[in-house]
Structure 1
Amino acid sequence: MARLDFAQGGLVPPHTHPRATEILFVLEGSLLVGFVSTDNKLFAVTVNAGDVFVFPRGLLHFELNVGKGKATAIAALNSQNPGVQAQAAALFGSGISDVVLEKAFGLSEKAVDHIKSKFAA
């Protein structure tokens, strides 16, 4: 389990847990939450204090504070070793070839360099 404290506009960036389903209980505030299914369909909703949302195991998901103040939530995962992989950092901070990223995302070399600079060690 983890307590998540969000500043106004705070974000848990898109990530996955390859070995666990996550359930999120909102204690305070409003969060835009969502996940992307295996057929690339976005399921997103705003959850408020007292609401619960489930992120299926292994699917890309995120949380964003869309309220007018702070937000607090409790996340529980059904594994003591859920794993976590932040997608942007994995793609642009891991050393994947610029050519691969340019072709995969239809980006220019300059755009890839700019994005990669945000994830440099």
Structure 2
Amino acid sequence: MNNLLVFFTFSLLVCLSHAIEVDFCVADRSLPRGSQGYACRDPATLTTDDFVYTGFRGGRTITNVPGNNVTLAFVDQFPALNGLGISMARLDFGVGGVIPVHSHRRSEVIIVSRGSIIAGFIDTNNTAYYRRLEVEDVMIFPQAILHFQVNVGTTPATAFVSLNGANPSIQFTMNSLFGGNLPADITQQITLLSNAEVMRMKRAFGTA
């Protein structure tokens, strides 16, 4: 399985990276991020450690209500990704755990390394494409499309994803509707939910 993950990562780096005019541009996070990413650190200050990310090692403790633990390797966590057009994340699921409906501004590939999950996306025609994925199965989620993952096995599950952007963002639909500063009366109007249900959801997401 380790060899498969190495091949998966290497293939994505080759296929999804964007051309840049220098060999690399490790992010200088002491400076503001621009529309094309961060400015580059001085190559003379870099070592091999700057190109290695160890954040996916080890087990995970899952304590949140959705029953997941997401470990990001976006440019803010792994500055060497700056300008390369790629990022990764590790998804850990407790039994019954979910990654709720969300979207990114980039496309995503997922590979299951442990357990069994249902993964899917919903296109702009409201057609759902979903499948039970087992270990070593791969699925693609197109750019900006709503998608989700659910652990349907009897044991914890783990998957790894890669996205074709160093900072692809994550927007959870429920958090956007109920976890931000959108007033309850507007939320009620645009979701067709009752005021009582809107307030229940806002309390669940900590804004009421």
TM-score bracket, shorter-length normalisation: over 0.9
* 1:66-121 Cα shifts (integer Å, max 9, x gaps): 00101111111111010111110111111212222212222111111111101115
Q: Secondary structure at the match of 1:110?
A: helix
Determine if the alignment matches structure 1 residue 92 to structure 2 residue 156: no
| TM-score, L = length of structure 2 | 0.56
- Residue ranges of structure 1 left out of the alignment (5+ in a row): none
Structure 1 or 2: larger strand share? 1
Q: In structure 1, what is the equivalent of residue 166 of structure 2?
A: 80
1:21-32 equivalence runs, <5 A: 21-32=107-118
Once superposed, what is the RMSD of the aligned Cα atoms?
A: 1.1
Give, in angstroms, the shift of residue 3 of structure 1. Answer: 1.8
Q: In structure 2, what is the equivalent of residue 44 of structure 1?
A: 130
How many percent of aligned residue pairs carry the same amino acid? 38
Determine if the alignment matches structure 1 residue 12 to structure 2 residue 108: no
Q: Which amino acid aligns with 2:121?
A: F
Determine if the alignment matches structure 1 residue 70 to structure 2 residue 156: yes
Question: 2 CA distance for matches of 1:40 and 1:21?
Answer: 18
Q: Which amino acid aligns with 1:27?
A: S
Q: Which has the higher contact order (CA 8 A, sep 6+)?
A: 1
Runs (4+) of structure 1 moved beyond 6 Å?
Answer: none
Question: 2 CA distance for matches of 1:117 and 1:100?
Answer: 16
Give, in angstroms, the shift of residue 40 of structure 1. Answer: 1.4
How many pairs does the alignment contain? 120
Deviates more, 1:85-94 or 1:102-111: 102-111
Structure 1 or 2: larger helix share? 2
- Residue ranges of structure 2 left out of the alignment (5+ in a row): 1-87
Question: 2 CA distance for matches of 1:119 and 1:70?
Answer: 25
Pick from 106, 109, 116: which aligns with 2:195?
109
Q: Secondary structure at the match of 1:26?
A: strand
* Pair member with larger Rg: 2
Question: 2 CA distance for matches of 1:84 and 1:109?
Answer: 27
